[in-house]
Amino acid sequence: MKKTSATEIHRFEVLEYVATVPTGKVTTYGRIAKDLLLPTPRLVGKILHTNPDSNTYPCHRVVFSDGKLAPSYAFGGAEIQRKKLIKEGVLFKKEKVDLKKCLY
DNA sequence: CTCTTGACCATGT
DNA sequence: AACATGGCCAAGA
C-alpha cells in the first residue's frame, strides 16, 4: 500500500494537462489549478518543480497569470524557459508572454 | 507536532 | 505598468 498524498495524484493530472498544451501556446498556473480543482495554485508550481522530465512534459509552457515566466525554472531558469518558448513560436512582450494570443 | 519555505495570485500603492 | 504585501495550502526539516 502506497502513501498517496493529494498532490501525489494531481501530479499526473497536471503533467497530462501540460502535455495537452499545443506548441506555440501557453497556459497559466491558476488556470491549471482551477481546472484540476487544486486547493491552491502554489501546488501546481510545486508539482512542476518535481517534474520528472521537461522533454516528456513541456513545463516551460506554463506561466504566471500575468504572462510572466516562473522565477525558478527547474531546467536552467526563466531565461532558458523564455528562449524555449520563443523557439516554439510563442510571442513575447518584453519579458512577458503575449497571453492575448498564446493563452491556450 | 511546530516552523519555514515555495515554478502563485489578487489587491493596493 | 511595475513593485510590494497578504493570503492561500502542502511538503520538508
Question: How high is the pLDDT of residue A2?
Answer: 65
Question: How high is the pLDDT of residue A93?
Answer: 92
Residue A30, CB, strand B, below 7 Å: yes
Give dist(CA A51, CA A56) in Å, integer.
9
What is the H or E stretch that residue A99 is in?
helix A99-102
**Which residues make Cβ contacts (< 8 Å) with residue A73, sequence separation at least 6?**
A59, A60, A80, A81
* CB < 7 A to strand C: residues 19-48, chain A: 39-40, 42-43, 46
Distance in angstroms: CA A64, C1' B4: 24
104 residues of chain A, pLDDT tens digit each: 767 888 889 999 999 999 999 999 999 999 999 999 999 999 999 999 988 688 899 999 999 999 999 988 988 889 999 999 999 999 999 889 999 999 99
For residue A74, with 0-12 CB atoms within 10 Å meaning exposed, 13-18 middle and 19 or more buried, which class applies? middle
Q: Supply the pTM of this predicted model.
A: 0.92
Residue A27, CB, strand B, below 7 Å: no
